[in-house]
Amino acid sequence: MPQQLLEACRRAHREGKDFPTIWLTVLRPNRLVIGLPGHEIIKGEARIVISLSTGQKLHSRAAGFDLA
């Protein structure tokens, strides 16, 4: 199920939607998402990090979304 959420985020990003829109329409309503987004710097790159109930995290960055 996290993979489906990741794909939905990637699709929205490819369609040109910004993070606030993706947060409101894709992420926030999803029951896997816990809490509010946070921020991390990884290898000098700023990322928005979304925690999932599975223990995984979605990372949003300029190039798109990743699952960690």
Number of domains in the chain: 1
> The pTM is what?
0.90
Pick from 54, 58, 53: nearest CA to 26:
58
Amino acid at 45: E
In whole angstroms, give the CA distance from residue 68 to residue 55. Answer: 9
- The answer for residues whose C-beta is within 8 angstroms of residue 53's C-beta and 6 or more apart is 31, 32, 33, 34
pLDDT in tens, 17-62: 999 999 999 999 999 999 999 999 988 999 999 999 999 999 999 8
Range of the domain at 32: 2-67
| Residue 42 amino acid letter | I
